[in-house]
């Protein structure tokens, strides 16, 4: 039996658009509403490959700082999520480079870091949770699948957020589907019925 | 229905109830365990992610503290037309100044081919640059591919279409010609940079290279129209050096502005 579908709150695009327009007009309630609505999934998106929760927290703050500084580049009437995720992707890429630079300069650490965010969430979610499987994909495929299946963005929107073409997004998604099929087959209990 | 067709269905959206599937897809899912597992995983209920409350509160505080009204950037059509306007006016003014001697000396096919490349390059770069100003805007062609393509097309057509004659004044005419082209490119770059200054927040280096190349094409088009030396070595090296140098200058400027930010 197939799983029941649940509504995805971030797909209420008109809501996000009006919040974003309010944010541009310095409406405090709209800004707070946008932050509360988008931040949880943005946090999950940024935390995917982060080493520690503290790093993911920093990335989210950095991402909102960039969103705040570039809020004039959002054009009313256009979808909000591709705009936000494009900024988030760059924040994560820059954060990754920064972390690599820091790590290459640090030869020793006093103690091991706090457990990474993904494993933190893994304990709390069901074994077949989508985000857990997505985390095991290569980064480009993970981004595409996260945006499509967790944030509910269309192929066009994902193409915008990733700065690529719809064909390239489709190709990445299809490769990810194939990898997920393999992973699901590996995790399937032996003797499961066809 | 095949597994590939299920993939295409999965591309269409999320949270599709099983009852909304076409009959053939439902039949395939009940028969194929691999696809059924994938469908359940991808179309099933999404997990609600929790954010540490202190982090969310900190972000709200940071944003609200410096909340000021901002005016959104104009539509990308406004930028597109502005960039095209700078491109056209730059070439028009330049050719008024230096004349169109090259037009009379060059054979029609290479002249038309090079003009088409410069024109197409200008239009494509204007489109690309206007989209680079907004995060999340879709690109028909990645800017990093567009710039080398335009430059390569120019060099190849100049090398193939124009006669190969070595002039004793190759090293004298060349720098003078390229220098004038670069000067004109610099003049064209000023309004382009002014127009693009509020955007290009994500990839300033790529936007800088695109703006530089667009300005460089203005310079290249002016010397293409006015230059009396219509030989392949001169055009393929010195004329092509104008957009290449301008693009590299734009790239460096963009990288510098990124580091400063």
Kindly state the percentage of chain B with pLDDT values over 90. 44
Would you say residue A153 has pLDDT above 80?
A: yes
Q: Report d(CA B190, CA A186) in Å as an integer.
A: 59
Taking alpha carbons only, the member of A104, A112, A100, A106 closest to residue A49 is A100
* Spatial distance between the Cα atoms of A80 and B197, rounded to a whole number of angstroms: 22
According to the model, what pLDDT value does residue B45 have? 65
Which of B38-47, B102-111, B151-160 has maximum average pLDDT? Answer: B151-160
The interface residues of chain A toward chain B in range 123-182, judged by CB-CB distance below 8 A, are 125, 128-131, 133, 145, 148-150, 152, 154-157, 159-161, 163-165, 170, 173-174, 177, 180-181
Closest chain A CA to residue B132: A163
* pLDDT (average), residues B150-161: 93
Number of H helices, E strands in chain A: 9, 0
pLDDT tens figures, B7-37: 888 887 666 666 677 888 888 888 888 888 8
How many A/B residue pairs have CB atoms within 8 Å? 203
Say yes or no to pLDDT of A124 above 70. no
pLDDT of residue B1: 78
> Which residues, numbered 19 to 58 in chain A, qualify as contacts with chain B under a Cβ-Cβ cut-off of 8 Å?
23-26, 28, 31-32, 35-36, 39-41, 43-44, 53, 57
Phi, psi for B28 (deg, rounded to 5): -65, -40
> What pLDDT was estimated at residue B227?
87
For A168, the enclosing helix (H) or strand (E) is helix A166-187
| Angle (CA) A67 A73 A76, round 5° | 105
> Is the pLDDT score of A1 beyond 60?
no
Tokens 């301008």 correspond to B246
Is the pLDDT reported for residue A115 higher than 50? no
pLDDT at A49: 60
Task: Kindly state the tokens that stand for B211.
Answer: 């703006």
pLDDT number for residue A87: 93
Q: Is pLDDT above 50 for A170? A: yes
SS3 state at A170: helix
Closest residue on chain A to B52 (Cα)? A57
In this predicted complex, what is the ipTM?
0.77
Q: Which residue of B has its CA nearest to A89?
A: B202
What is the share, in percent, of chain A residues with pLDDT greater than 70?
A: 73
Confidence of residue A106 (pLDDT cuts 50, 70, 90): low
Q: Identify the pLDDT of residue B47.
A: 61
* Average pLDDT of span B172-183: 91
pLDDT recorded at residue A2: 34
Please spell the DSSP secondary structure of B113-130, one letter per residue.
HHHHHHHHHHHHHHHHHH
pLDDT of the residue at B179: 94
Given B17, B201, B202, which is nearest A5 (Cβ)? B17
Tell me whether residues A87 and B201 touch, CB distance under 8 A.
yes
Does B79 reach chain A within 8 Å, measured CB to CB? Answer: no
Q: For residue B163, count CB atoms less than 10 angstroms from its CB and return exposed for 0-12, middle for 13-18, buried for 19 or more.
A: exposed
Whole-number pLDDT of residue B188: 95
Interface test with B, best of A54, A65, A66, A72 (most B CBs within 10 A): A72
A7-20 mean pLDDT? 64
Instruction: Please identify which residue in the block is written with the tokens 């200054």.
Output: B197
On the question of pLDDT at B250 being above 90, the answer is yes
User: Which of A184, A188, A192 is the mutation pick for testing B, counting most B CBs within 10 A?
Assistant: A184
Please report the DSSP string for chain B in residue order: --HHHHHHHHHT-S---GGGS-HHHHHHHHH-HHHHHHHHHHHSPPPPPP--HHHHHHHHHHHHHT----PPPPPHHHHHHHHHHHHHHHHHHHHHHH--HHHHHS-HHHHHHHHHHHHHHHHHHHHHHHHHTSTT---SS-HHHHHHHHHHHHHHHHHHHS-----TTHHHHHHHHHHHHHHHHHHHHHHHHHHHTT---S-HHHHHHHHHHHHHHHHHHHHHHH-S---HHHIIIIIHHHHHHHHHHHHHHHHHHHHH-
In this prediction, residues A150-155 reach a mean pLDDT of 82
Q: For A41-55, A97-111, B35-49, which range has the lowest pLDDT when averaged over its residues?
A: A97-111
**What number is the average pLDDT over the span B115-125?**
94
pLDDT band, residue A12 (cuts 50/70/90): very low
User: Is the pLDDT score of A13 beyond 80?
Assistant: no
Query: Would you say residue B121 has pLDDT above 80?
Result: yes
Q: Which of A90, A171, A42, A139 is nearest to B132 (CA)?
A: A90
Task: Tell me which chain A residues have a C-beta less than 8 angstroms from the C-beta of B203.
Answer: 90
Q: Quick one: tokens of A135? A: 């985390």
- pTM for the model stands at 0.78
Token pair in block for residue B201: 């927040």
Closest CA to B227 of B86, B110, B84: B110
Nearest to A28 among B62, B64, B71 (CB): B64
Domain boundaries, chain B: 3-45, 76-260
Subunit contact A180:B136, Cβ cutoff 8 A = no
Put simply, the answer to whether B135 touches A125 (Cβ < 8 Å) is no
């Amino acid at each position: 039996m197939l799983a029941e579908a649940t509504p995805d709150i971030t797909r209420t695009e008109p809501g996000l658009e009006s919040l974003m327009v309010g944010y541009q007009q310095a409406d405090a309630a709209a800004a707070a509403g946008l932050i509360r609505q988008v931040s949880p999934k943005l946090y999950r998106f940024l935390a995917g490959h982060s080493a520690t929760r503290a790093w993911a927290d920093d990335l989210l703050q950095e991402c909102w700082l960039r969103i705040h500084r570039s809020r004039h580049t959002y054009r009313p009437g256009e979808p909000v999520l591709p705009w936000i995720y494009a900024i988030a992707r760059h924040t994560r890429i820059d954060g990754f480079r920064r972390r690599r630079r820091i790590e290459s300069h640090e030869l020793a650490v006093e103690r091991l870091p706090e457990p990474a965010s993904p494993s933190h969430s893994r304990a709390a979610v069901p074994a077949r949770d989508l985000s857990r499987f997505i985390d095991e994909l290569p980064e480009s495929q993970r981004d595409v699948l996260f945006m499509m299946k967790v944030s509910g963005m269309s192929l066009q929107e994902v193409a915008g957020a990733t700065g690529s073409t719809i064909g390239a997004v489709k190709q990445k998604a299809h490769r990810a589907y194939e990898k997920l099929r393999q992973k699901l087959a590996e995790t399937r209990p032996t003797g499961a019925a066809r | 229905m095949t597994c590939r067709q299920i993939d295409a269905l999965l591309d269409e959206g999320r949270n599709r109830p099983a009852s909304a599937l076409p009959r053939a897809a439902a039949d395939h899912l009940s028969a194929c365990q691999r696809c059924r597992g994938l469908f359940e995983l991808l179309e099933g209920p999404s997990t609600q992610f929790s954010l540490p409350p202190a982090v969310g509160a900190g972000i709200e505080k940071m944003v609200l503290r410096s909340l000021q009204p901002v005016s959104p950037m104009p539509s990308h059509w406004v930028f597109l037309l502005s960039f095209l306007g700078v491109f056209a006016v730059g070439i028009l003014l330049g050719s008024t100044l230096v004349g169109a001697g090259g037009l009379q000396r060059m054979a029609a096919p290479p002249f038309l081919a090079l003009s088409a490349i410069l024109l197409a390059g200008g239009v494509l770069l204007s489109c690309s640059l206007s989209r680079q100003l907004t995060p999340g805007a879709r690109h028909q062609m990645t800017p990093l591919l567009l710039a080398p393509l335009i430059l390569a097309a120019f060099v190849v057509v100049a090398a193939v279409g124009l006669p190969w004659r070595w002039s004793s004044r190759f090293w004298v005419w060349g720098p003078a010609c390229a220098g004038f082209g670069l000067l004109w490119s610099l003049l064209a770059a000023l309004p382009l940079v002014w127009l693009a200054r509020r955007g290009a927040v994500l990839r300033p280096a790529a936007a800088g290279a695109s703006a530089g190349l667009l300005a460089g094409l203005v310079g290249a088009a002016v010397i293409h129209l006015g230059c009396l030396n219509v030989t392949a070595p001169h055009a393929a090296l010195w004329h092509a050096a104008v957009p290449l140098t301008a693009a590299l200058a734009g790239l460096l400027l963009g990288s510098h502005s990124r580091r400063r930010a």
